[in-house]
Structure 1
Amino acid sequence: MKGPGYLAVAIQPGSSTDEAAFHHWYNTEHGPLRLRLPFILTGDRYKAADDQTPSWSAVYNVSDLAWIEKRIYSRLREERSQQEKKVMSTFDSLDRKIYSIISTEGDFEGPAPLQLAASIRVKEADADDFNKWYEEEHTPMISKIPGWLRTRRFKMEVGGLMGMPPQGEVEYLAVHDFEAKNGLNGPEHEAARNTPWRKSIIEKVVWQQRRTWSHHLTFDALEEPPSSVITTDGAELRFQLEGNPSDPVIVCINSILTNLHIWDDVAKALTTGVNGQTYRVLRYNSRGYSQQAERSNPARFDLLADDLEYLLQRVGLDKVHAVMGVSMGGVTAINFAIRHPEMLEKFIACDCNIASSPANNTAWGERIELAKSKGMGALADVTMKRWFTEPNHESENAKKVLAMVEQASLDGFAENTGALCNYNLKDRVPSIKTPGLLIAGDGDGKLPEAMQKFGIESASFKSIPEAGHLPMLENHDAFMDAVASFL
């Protein structure tokens, strides 16, 4: 599919559908999420005005149907929010169809107070005659009906519940826009329906359906805070993109409980140049650092990797030079190389593991209880001391991380531990072909030894002396030397 088009969705709520929840979800989440995508030009909801079912519809004008087949759109259905799953499970029916545009008559740009939608199937052998009649006689006569605003004609590209027409047939849709007060079913309309040419064409029609819809609501794009992207399920990814737009891009992903500012010095070094090359840097707060929406899905590493995919698509980056992450961000970088190898040239994973363990799961549970009972400040203190080597406990960077952890969302932290307690990439890492660099601070417990046994043939390992869990903060120069030699 390609070129301008039209997406039409008809819904019949079920007997158990909560009407208020249905409208709240559609008006504040489902429709606005789609309007945030650059290729969805307009979106409107309509209510049946003809006593037929389905009783509700939503229609979207699309700039190029090629986008509908890409992940930036399909993930809207693949990663439905908890609220969406709950509401949609109560529907009697949902009928989704996609059309390419054939022609437009009239200057009106909508939304129309009332729409008359006529779907017609004819045999392919009769399509030319049908289209000639519609363009040369029927639309001009429809345009004479009082209150007429515009007529658009479309050809079906993706069928709904009825599927695509049988082989040898084609389905067309005509959408006639009218004022609320109009002359439908009046003399001009009757004249359009009673010509000899029309009668000869109707004899060739295989199937037809006519629906009348009254306008209910126009969607607005879901608002996002400045320099933030809201994922399809409501998680906020605050980001910072800096550097020369023509430079290769490096993505930096933070650990649990920290934010994008753990990369401040790294970003400065990369944007000003290493080994004679300057880079553009995209860094962001992984989901969970700030409070997530109630409708957000549980954090898992596949979802975290797909968050990065969505962020890159939203900022217009098809492929980046490297993805670099630490701790939880390191696992995300590895999983991104597994799930989206076409979107990166290299990856760097720091101080992480490729599978959770029972001991770690117990530790995360204890940390959650500590935060709940004594507050994030108590968690921040023990976390900083665990992540930094003892000589650096009073360093400025340690104080910086201490403040980050104190400001992190407790609920978001608890959600993210769900990812860290439930993952195993051991069977998947052998598939990685992307060149990688594994880095660990030599003071980060058993991780340096464990990371050398990951089994990623395309990756090398580098230990950073005098550093713990966040080597970019404890031994910045050695860390950047390792990164620069790999990039």
Structure 2
Amino acid sequence: MPLGFLLVTAEPGALVPLEEFQDWYNNEHVPLRLNHLPSFLTGARFSAADSLTPSWLAVYDIDDTATFQHESYTRLRANRSPQEADLVKRLELLDRRTYEFVADSGESALTSSYKPTNATKFLLTHWINISGDDAAFHPWSDEAFRALKGVEGWVRTRTYKCIDNLKIGTGVPKGPEAQIVPKYLVVHEVLSLAVADLPAFVGASNPGSMAKIEESRTWNLYRAYPSVAQGNVQASSS
């Protein structure tokens, strides 16, 4: 099975104070995954840098997409604590998307991506739909990587294909249309958000006529977390 990636955007909304939201994420939600499951290789959270909503982003590198169907992971949502269940039903948005790995420009000496030591400070995310054959996306990734290597301030780019998603929350409209999301995700790690405006970056990251960027967002690192997989946190008992 391919490598997996979990991306979750969230908006606390009027019914969940930010302090309560942060306490839940930092002290319950993230530890239940990173302190227990070696399949969760990394985990980090980012806040919106563009004043748009959702305001919060969480990303996790997963060792195998099979993890998303494994009981060790699925039971975390099926058996929420009373406190978590109460908070989740009050959130304005919790948008969970699981992905399979497509391509990676490669690890960089500039940052450790989502590991706590020297974590990437800024992300640029592009959600993309492909026109025509999905196979066209793979060679585009390779071409983009070659061009991005010449962009000052660029660190790393990875691409993914969405395999499942679910939006819940008080602000999510009813009906299947609300659950439609772009098929592909591109995550750019950069040293500065100013990279997003560089002509060289814009040119290299634009998929052209073969695809359409449905949404672009910019993010600031809030926190990168230790994990059992990294060997920098002691495993908690289940």
Higher strand share: 2
Partner of 1:189: 201
For residues 28-39 of structure 1, the aligned pairs below 5 Å read 28-35=27-34, 36-39=36-39
d(CA) in 2 for partners of 1:129, 1:66: 25
Partner of 2:113: 110
The DSSP-based 3-state class of the residue aligned with 2:183 is: strand
How many pairs does the alignment contain? Answer: 215
Matched, 1:175 2:187: yes
Q: CA deviation at 1:187?
A: 2.9
d(CA) in 2 for partners of 1:182, 1:4: 30
CA shift digits 1:318-376 (9 cap, x unpaired) = xxxxxxxxxxxxxxxxxxxxxxxxxxxxxxxxxxxxxxxxxxxxxxxxxxxxxxxxxxx
For the Cα contact (< 8 Å) 1:148–1:182, is it kept in 2? Answer: no
Structure 1 residues 201 and 181, CA gap change in structure 2 (3 angstroms) = closer
Give the counterpart of 2:166 among 160, 167, 171: 160
d(CA) in 1 for partners of 2:127, 2:152: 22
d(CA) in 2 for partners of 1:100, 1:37: 18
Structure 1 residues 97 and 190, CA gap change in structure 2 (3 angstroms) = closer
Structure 1 residues 89 and 132, CA gap change in structure 2 (3 angstroms) = same
For the Cα contact (< 8 Å) 1:99–1:155, is it kept in 2? Answer: yes
Structure 1 residues 134 and 224, CA gap change in structure 2 (3 angstroms) = closer
d(CA) in 1 for partners of 2:53, 2:106: 29
Q: CA deviation at 1:3?
A: 2.4
Matched, 1:7 2:41: no
Q: Specify the structure having the higher radius of gyration (Cα).
A: 1
For the Cα contact (< 8 Å) 2:9–2:94, is it kept in 1? Answer: yes
d(CA) in 2 for partners of 1:224, 1:81: 22
Structure 1 residues 133 and 220, CA gap change in structure 2 (3 angstroms) = closer
Q: CA deviation at 1:146?
A: 1.5
For residues 272-283 of structure 1, the aligned pairs below 5 Å read none
d(CA) in 2 for partners of 1:83, 1:192: 45
Letter in 2 for 1:215: L
Q: CA deviation at 1:21?
A: 1.4
d(CA) in 1 for partners of 2:205, 2:40: 34
For the Cα contact (< 8 Å) 2:130–2:210, is it kept in 1? Answer: no
For the Cα contact (< 8 Å) 1:104–1:152, is it kept in 2? Answer: yes
Structure 1 residues 81 and 145, CA gap change in structure 2 (3 angstroms) = same
Letter in 2 for 1:48: A
Q: CA deviation at 1:221?
A: 4.1
For the Cα contact (< 8 Å) 1:96–1:160, is it kept in 2? Answer: yes
Identity of aligned residues (%): 33
For residues 325-336 of structure 1, the aligned pairs below 5 Å read none
For residues 134-283 of structure 1, the aligned pairs below 5 Å read 134-136=141-143, 138-161=144-167, 162-163=178-179, 171-180=183-192, 182-192=194-204, 198-202=207-211, 205=212, 208-221=214-227, 229=237, 231=238
Letter in 2 for 1:189: F
Structure 1 residues 224 and 127, CA gap change in structure 2 (3 angstroms) = closer
Structure 1: runs of 5 or more not aligned: 232-487
d(CA) in 1 for partners of 2:180, 2:137: 19
Structure 2: runs of 5 or more not aligned: 115-119, 168-177
The DSSP-based 3-state class of the residue aligned with 1:131 is: helix
d(CA) in 2 for partners of 1:164, 1:156: 11
d(CA) in 2 for partners of 1:221, 1:193: 31
TM-score by length of 1: 0.41
Higher helix share: 1
Superposition CA RMSD, Å: 2.3
Letter in 2 for 1:34: R
CA shift digits 1:232-286 (9 cap, x unpaired) = xxxxxxxxxxxxxxxxxxxxxxxxxxxxxxxxxxxxxxxxxxxxxxxxxxxxxxx
The DSSP-based 3-state class of the residue aligned with 1:208 is: strand
TM-score by length of 2: 0.81
Letter in 2 for 1:149: V
Partner of 2:174: none
Q: CA deviation at 1:79?
A: 1.2
CA shift digits 1:76-105 (9 cap, x unpaired) = 011111221232222101100000001110
d(CA) in 2 for partners of 1:193, 1:224: 39
d(CA) in 2 for partners of 1:183, 1:192: 12
Partner of 2:86: 86
Letter in 1 for 2:121: P
Partner of 1:41: 41
Q: CA deviation at 1:200?
A: 2.9
Partner of 2:101: 101
d(CA) in 1 for partners of 2:97, 2:208: 28
Partner of 1:445: none
For residues 355-394 of structure 1, the aligned pairs below 5 Å read none
For the Cα contact (< 8 Å) 1:145–1:182, is it kept in 2? Answer: no
Structure 1 residues 219 and 77, CA gap change in structure 2 (3 angstroms) = same
d(CA) in 2 for partners of 1:87, 1:178: 33
d(CA) in 1 for partners of 2:65, 2:205: 33
The DSSP-based 3-state class of the residue aligned with 1:159 is: strand
Q: CA deviation at 1:164?
A: 5.6
